[in-house]
A = this chain, B = another copy of it.
């Protein structure tokens, strides 16, 4: 606390990221990182850019990356916005679109950053409960709002909302912006990117942190009608005109262009997820059907809190949320095949000795 702070600073309740331990030899299944390295082509492109040219500013518009993304999604360059991770893209979006009167609607169980942005930008919020199966019921979102945002697949549940439902939601809510936060879209759900040309109030946000294995590079993007992108550009250019450095632009371009590597990596994770879900079931876990690179699960007998502590003792970190409705669930990132096997083996020991 300080008398020098602006009044709003006292009211903020900052986001707490998942632990990033500095200890080695941990099996880190707590922040949904990709167990496989980035595309070798992305690594080469970044190394090639690491030299004398770093003395010069990066392209403030990151046109090369916008162009690569536009090609990838069959959109125009002015339908693409890029930022320093999808968290920054989301922050700008809250300021650009959600400061009308009326509340912002989002699921009660979803990305825990949304209420933090509401605090930062003084956006009134209304949390819409997921149904008993942890599904989004779009009819619950048919009410006055300043905007709607939800992750698809949802986090931490991993459950996907079908594209047909998203279309219905967009059709019944034409006057405010609907953001579909697709951080985990590439692991099995259908992207709303294909709807961008049909709905001028749709913004799709994605990231290079998960399916592109570049969490440590900080690149995210948004796809939407050029007027929405224009609003984001106005905010971004009033905040920080150069959010992406030269290396990040080159790495992201190469990553988005390496479709073969991307598809193979996603497929490998999907197969591990299915195997792990099956093994967890044999051990007495009930898991939600995941379309993401993590599994949201609870054990029939042992509490999630205890399990997460016992796994930690075995040098395996998973995510436990001490929050209503989900305080007996664990969110487990799908690791490499070896990590999944080690997890199953450790869980087996823990359960047998309990």
Residues in chain A within 8 A of chain B (CB atoms): 1-9, 12-17, 20, 22, 28, 31, 33-38, 43, 46-47, 50-60, 84-85, 87-88, 91, 95-100, 116-117, 119-120, 175-177, 200-201, 209, 213-218, 227-228, 230-231, 233-235, 237-248, 251
Contact = CB atoms under 8 A, between A and B. Distances in A.
A166 to B, nearest CB: 17
Contacts of A38: 52, 54-55
A241 B84 contact: no
Contact of A15 (B175, B177, B238): B238
A36 B55 CA distance: 7
Given A5-B231, A15-B238, A56 B28 contact: yes
Nearest to A51: B43
Given A95-B8, A97-B4, A235 B55 contact: no
A216 B231 contact: no
Contacts of A56: 20, 28, 33, 215-216
A247 B251 CA distance: 11
Nearest to A118: B238
Contacts of A87: 239-242
Contacts of A8: 95, 99
Contacts of A251: 54
A217 B117 CA distance: 26
B20 A59 contact: yes
Nearest to A121: B6
A17 B57 contact: yes
B120 A46 contact: no
A338 to B, nearest CB: 15
20 contacts: A4-B228, A5-B234, A6-B95, A6-B99, A12-B234, A14-B234, A14-B238, A15-B237, A33-B55, A35-B55, A43-B50, A54-B216, A55-B214, A57-B215, A91-B239, A116-B238, A119-B238, A120-B239, A217-B247, A218-B244
A306 to B, nearest CB: 27
Contact of A234 (B9, B33, B215): B9
B36 A6 contact: no
Contacts of A34: 55
A8 B96 CA distance: 8
Contacts of A200: 4
A216 B245 contact: yes
A158 B22 CA distance: 43
Given A12-B235, A17-B242, A235-B9, A33 B57 contact: yes
Contacts of A60: 17, 20
Nearest to A3: B175
Nearest to A147: B4
Contacts of A47: 47, 50
A59 to B, nearest CB: 6
B209 A91 contact: no
Contacts of A50: 43, 46-47, 50, 247
A228 B2 contact: yes
